[in-house]
Amino acid sequence: MKPFKLGVIIAKVTRESFAFAYQSITVNKMRTFLSLLGITIGIFAIISVFSVLDALEKNVRDSLQSLGDNVLYIQKWPWSMGGEYPWWKYMNRPQPKMEDLGEIRERSTLTGVATLVANFQGAVSFGKNSVPRNSVIAVTTQYEEMRTFEIETGRYFSPYELYAGKNVILLGHEVASELFTGFNPVGQSVKVRGHKAEVIGVIKKEGASPIGNYSHDEIVLIPVSFAKQIIDLRWMDTFIMVKPVENVPNIELKDELRGILRSFHRLKPIEDDDFSLNELGLLKQGIDSIFVSINLGGWIIGGFSILVGGFGIANIMFVSVKERTGIIGIQKALGAKNYFILLQFLYESILLSVMGGLIGLFVVFIGSLLASGFIEFNITLTFGNIVLGLAISATIGIVSGFAPAWSASKLNPVEAMNAN
């Protein structure tokens, strides 16, 4: 048989099979509704889970990206993503100091940018307005080269202010909103732990960070030299951020920094490091494993819903074959081939399943629009999830409808016509 003629026959069979399937669906509206309901719930369950996870994962990765892929963190405590954590080994380690930062800047040839950051809690007040237990971040020079943020009003610290310990402060967007209403805070005097400081700028709103206190919205920035006047640095959580020069991998910078710090701390060769060199790669690996587990959970949850919907379509299709046994017998008596009967019911099952999937995807789309108005990150129905939803629907239609379609195609025409 010529390819063109074969294609025409296949197209004709497909068109007629779809016509029969569509007629059956429109005639039995209640049956169609019940069949669609299971698949709709299943697709909604699985695609909504994946859409939320995709949005959350993107938000987390964007937050990590803002911290810098190639930044090393010199800290007292090592980062860990599970397993036993021997905290007692790190209890007596010293906090990174300004002297460590000076040694790194003086001796490291692979360091491009380095800055010390110190965290502590303190009330920030203006008149009768106060933000209790606010996170205060004390920084040195080059902090603005490490972290990406924008100044909404005012300006950033000058080098002189950072070195001289001037009583100046930058407010996060939320802190400024709570302390000042109706007028510009720049130039006003606030108190940090009872010490006066002049507001020189407000940081532009960033939104909540999903990986901890890495947003500038609810913090204030002050120079480390000013922080020394407020609190003893020994009681502050300090760390040093180091970024290598261009084209230098982190592993080389780590080796150099380890040698510099061990020498500066006068550690013997047999002694362990009294500091930790952390990097975001560890966090990314941990996050990857977490999202793999969550995705697996999403497949399991959605899989059960899809399974229920598939059984529903299979049952409905068996009922449909039973009701149309006489019609099947007449069609076969008039010359309809087995594959025509098979395709007729198989297309009906696929059409039902895909319609349910489309409704489920539409519900996910509406839900994502509504949810985005109540949370800090946007949930979007991606093209990949749409294709995944339709592919799952079609697959369930084929699997659920094959057994009923096969049984219909194998009916004896005489017995089928006399069945009713």
Q: For 143-205, where are the alpha helices, taking DSSP H only?
A: 143-146, 159-164, 173-179
Compute the distance between CA of residue 37 and CA of residue 359 in angstroms, rounded to an integer.
9
Contacts of 55 (CB under 8 A, 6+ apart): 377, 378, 379, 380
What Å distances lie between residue 338 and 23, 315, 341, 342, 349, CA to CA?
Answer: 20, 21, 5, 6, 17
C-beta separation of 311 from 402 below 8 A: no
Report the alpha-carbon distance of residue 162 to residue 225 in Å, rounded. 7
pTM above 0.85, yes or no: no
* pLDDT at residue 223 in the model: 92
Distance separating alpha carbons of residues 350 and 357, to the nearest angstrom:
10
The answer to whether 116 and 140 have CB atoms below 8 angstroms apart is yes
Per-residue pLDDT, 186:
92
CA distance 158 to 392: 58
Angle formed by the axes of helices 383-409 and 29-67, nearest 10°: 150
pLDDT at residue 255 in the model: 92
Give 10-residue mean pLDDT values along the chain (420 residues).
Answer: 59 66 68 76 84 80 69 88 77 90 92 90 87 86 84 91 89 90 88 91 78 74 90 82 89 92 91 88 74 79 80 82 79 78 82 87 87 73 88 89 86 72
pLDDT at 306: 81
CB of 135 closer than 8 Å to CB of 219: yes
pLDDT for the residue 250: 87
User: 177: how many CB neighbours lie within 10 A of its CB?
Assistant: 15
Q: Cβ distance 401 to 346 under 8 Å?
A: yes
